């Protein structure tokens, strides 16, 4: 399944769950912060993969991808269009993901937000594309499948409940 197809499922679920599904409905600062948070959680899972299925390497990499696709598709990013960039992870076999690799991912998100803040929308959209592709390449390099993990997470979210009236970002989950 392509990144745009996965992203379309994320946007559909975002609309159903009340997370916002258009660029006018999304708070870019919040969404970029949440992507950065997922990078930290991905690091934590890599250091000590927990037994809790929602905090695994696969789940956290899926969260990075899904949040990036959510924001990017709302802004019109075509994640399936080949856009050249110098990848840190493409076609590499990593024995270990280093602190430098995590800092690189964090910097992609921070730079992307800075581009948005300075109204350089084309660069902001390109940054979202690079973030999605790099997490895809990184997971391939550590022999994980982020696309399958994202589809599993989308399926899991179908049964999870969020109170649309009390939703603040993705923090408040109703019972």
CA 71 → CA 11, 46, 60, 91, 152, distances in Å? 9, 25, 17, 26, 19
Q: What is the pLDDT of residues 100-142, one digit of tens each?
A: 999 999 999 999 999 999 999 999 999 999 999 999 999 999 9
3-state helix, strand, coil in the chain (%, to 5): 65, 0, 35
pTM: 0.90
First to last CA, the chain: 32
**Residue 10 lies inside a defined structural domain of this protein:** yes
CATH number (domain holding residue 48):
1.10.4010.10
**Residue 48 lies inside a defined structural domain of this protein:** yes
Within 13 Å and on the Cβ side, how many CA atoms surround 2?
A: 9
CA distance 23 to 137: 26
The label of the residue with tokens 């973030």 reads 131
Total domains present in the chain:
1
**Residue 11 lies inside a defined structural domain of this protein:** yes
**Residue 92 lies inside a defined structural domain of this protein:** yes
> For residue 79, what pLDDT is reported?
98
> For residue 63, what pLDDT is reported?
96
CA distance 175 to 158: 14
Range of the domain at 131: 3-76+87-159
pLDDT of 85 higher than 60: yes
């Amino acid at each position: 399944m392509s990144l745009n197809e996965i992203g379309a499922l994320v946007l559909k679920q975002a609309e159903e769950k009340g997370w916002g599904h258009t660029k006018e409905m999304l708070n870019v600062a919040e969404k970029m912060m949440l992507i950065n948070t997922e990078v930290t959680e991905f690091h934590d899972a890599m250091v000590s993969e927990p037994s809790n299925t929602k905090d695994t390497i696969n789940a956290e990499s899926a969260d990075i991808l899904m949040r990036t696709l959510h924001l990017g598709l709302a802004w019109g990013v075509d994640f399936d269009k080949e856009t050249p960039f110098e990848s840190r992870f493409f076609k590499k076999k990593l024995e270990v993901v280093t602190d430098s690799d995590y800092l690189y991912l964090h910097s992609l998100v921070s730079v992307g937000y800075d581009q948005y803040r300075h109204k350089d929308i084309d660069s902001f959209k390109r940054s979202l594309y690079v973030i999605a592709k790099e997490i895809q390449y990184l997971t391939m390099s550590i022999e994980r499948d982020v696309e399958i993990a994202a589809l599993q997470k989308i399926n899991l979210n179908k049964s999870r409940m969020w109170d649309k009236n009390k939703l603040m970002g993705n923090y408040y989950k109703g019972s």
